[in-house]
Amino acid sequence: MQSVFTGPVFVVRDNIDTDQIIPAQYLNLVPTIPDEYEKLGAYAFAGLPESANPERYVKEGQLDSEYPIVVAGRNFGCGSSREHAPIALGSAGCKVVLAESFARIFFRNSVATGELYPCESPDRLCDAFKTGDVVTVDLDAGTVTAKSTGKVYKFKPLGDVRPVVDAGGLFNYARNTGMIPK
């Protein structure tokens, strides 16, 4: 299981709600239909106002993002229960979201789908990084390292959540561990 991720970060601020992650008009797409799953990725973060985020997470006409790591402030994923939110990010190629804190349902949906690792950082990483900075996230060590400066930040261990995401989500985990029949 991959535990180290290196790449450029996409930085957003506090209170990024699920409408900004995947605007409601795209909820007509059904995540379990494969080509609609792909399309959801193309719209990841499409609801971020350009005024606050001039860079696009997914470039026009693309299905995938060049940013495998998202860095956010407080209360990331607040708002609706739409599972389309972690799915849109995962479909676009996001592996890790590092936030100061998460809204409950988004966190749970990230784990249940196994789409991404939601990591909580006590440091305000959205102030420490800017979009495009290259970092290395090490899930085993619980560290994120800035490539340019070598500075290391710690984040909270994922604990029981880690093996669920490793397995690819709730159902795979439940089968692997005998909670439900294979």
Footprint on this chain of another protein (rule: CB under 8 A) = 15, 17, 19-20, 23-25, 27-33, 47-49, 51, 74-75, 78-84, 101, 103-105, 108-109, 112-113, 169-171, 174, 180
Question: How many whole angstroms separate alpha carbon 132 and alpha carbon 150?
Answer: 16
Q: At its nearest, how many Å lie between another protein and the CB of residue 78?
A: 6
Nearer to another protein, 82 or 95 (CB): 82
Maximum distance among all Cα pairs of the chain, rounded to whole angstroms: 50
Pairing of strands 134-138, 4-11: antiparallel
Q: At its nearest, how many Å lie between another protein and the CB of residue 119?
A: 17
Q: At its nearest, how many Å lie between another protein and the CB of residue 131?
A: 18
Question: How many whole angstroms separate alpha carbon 61 and alpha carbon 63?
Answer: 7
Nearer to another protein, 152 or 180 (CB): 180
Question: How many whole angstroms separate alpha carbon 91 and alpha carbon 83?
Answer: 12
Q: At its nearest, how many Å lie between another protein and the CB of residue 153?
A: 22
Q: How many CB atoms lie within 10 A of CB 167?
A: 17
Question: How many whole angstroms separate alpha carbon 82 and alpha carbon 17?
Answer: 11
Nearer to another protein, 24 or 152 (CB): 24
List the end-to-end C-alpha distance of the chain, in Å, as a whole number. Answer: 21
Nearer to another protein, 105 or 128 (CB): 105
Q: At its nearest, how many Å lie between another protein and the CB of residue 148?
A: 31
Nearer to another protein, 124 or 147 (CB): 124
